[in-house]
Structure 1
Amino acid sequence: MSSQVIENHRANAEIYSGAPICIEKSRQLLDEISMPKGLLPLDDLVEVGYNRAAGFVWLRQSKSKQHRFNRIGKTVSYDKEVTAFVENRRMKKLTGVKSKELLIWVTISEIFIDESNPDSITFASSTGISRTFPVSAFELEEDGKK
């Protein structure tokens, strides 16, 4: 399904191909929407697209990836395609991201930073389950050492 959504938003999008530029653009995007740059630790990207008019973003990687955020002890799975509608401090209608909770994978549908608590980031599922963590847990390692 997300492939069709991507096709619907390609026409007016900025599209980048190749891992080095895609990694750079994905971090720029996160910075632009005031999200921590380590939130999408995808290093095998083949395409990144951003339709600014619709606020739609997609990231394609050659294979799915699991990443462990050591500061919070959570493992997150990223599918080959990750899509979202973005605005300042928020990614909604997110697809392709799951978090391991105990023994099950929970699909994450929204990630946001509440203005009333800018040091915390919340991950929500479409079932209403949400978890909040320190924003600092999702900064890039090199950013935290400055």
Structure 2
Amino acid sequence: MGLVTDEVRARAEKYTGDELCREKTKVFLKEANMPNGLLPLKDIEEVGYDRETGVVWLKQKKSITHKFETIGKLVSYGTEVTAVVEVGKIKKLTGVKAKELLIWVTLSELVLEQPTSSGKINFRTPTGLSRTFPVSAFVVPEVEKPAMEKNNATTEVKEAVAVSDA
């Protein structure tokens, strides 16, 4: 875990459970001004974030391959993804590969060139090769949770009053 030392783990915010980890991943991406669909992980077991150093780690049950449909690119996410996060930049990235032609290429850095939804994001490899894509290819529309219906809330309040009167 190169970046994730015992000291970093002790200082970091840590979360477990798939639903909470997915939510926290979106929060970290938003704080870094990165697109919310950049890490479409599944069955996440743990997420950690050390705000002091910017180190983030995500552990999932198994590796996944995701296709970003609008750009036609396959990206593989290992069981553990680590990085150092700054506003507009993810560096020292591990556990992520993109398919180029017939080979899988390790990604090491992602940099926003224009930090807007109509901007560009640059993906870099450890060898210095890079590709630029529109930020919009990595944005997932936010789905709002439906508000609780008034009837349900009223029923719950009446039931609570009835129990306390008994």
The two structures have a TM-score, normalised by structure 2, of 0.81
C-alpha deviation, 1:143, in angstroms: 3.7
RMSD between aligned alpha carbons?
1.4
Q: Which residue of 1 aligns with 2:163?
A: none
Alignment partners' CA distance in 2, 1:30 and 1:134? 16
Asked if the contact 2:57/2:80 (under 8 Å) is kept, the reply is yes
Partner SS for 2:90: strand
- Give the structure 2 partner of residue 53 of structure 1: 52
Match in the other structure for 1:139: 139
* Aligned mates of 1:89, 1:18 — CA distance in 2: 27
Name the structure, 1 or 2, with higher relative contact order (CA <8 Å, separation 6+).
Answer: 1
Structure 2 gaps, min length 5 = 144-166
Q: Name the residue aligned to 1:101.
A: 100
Q: Structure 1 segments of 4 or more deviating over 4 A?
A: none
Partner secondary structure for residue 10 of structure 1: helix
Task: Kindly indicate which of the two structures has a greater share of residues assigned to strand.
Answer: 1
Query: Is the radius of gyration larger for structure 1 or structure 2?
Result: 2
Q: Paired residues, what number?
A: 140
The answer to whether the 8 A contact 2:108-2:124 is kept is yes
Using the size of structure 1 for normalisation, the TM-score is 0.92
> Aligned match of 1:7 in 5, 12, 30?
5
- Aligned partners of 1:5, 1:31: CA distance in 2, in Å? 21
Indicate yes or no: 2:42 matched with 1:36: no
Gaps of 5+ in 1: none
- For the 8 Å contact 2:63–2:79, the answer to whether it is kept is yes
Percent identity among equivalent residues?
Answer: 54
C-alpha distance in structure 1 between counterparts of 2:13 and 2:65, whole Å: 27
Q: Which position in structure 1 is the counterpart of 2:120?
A: 120
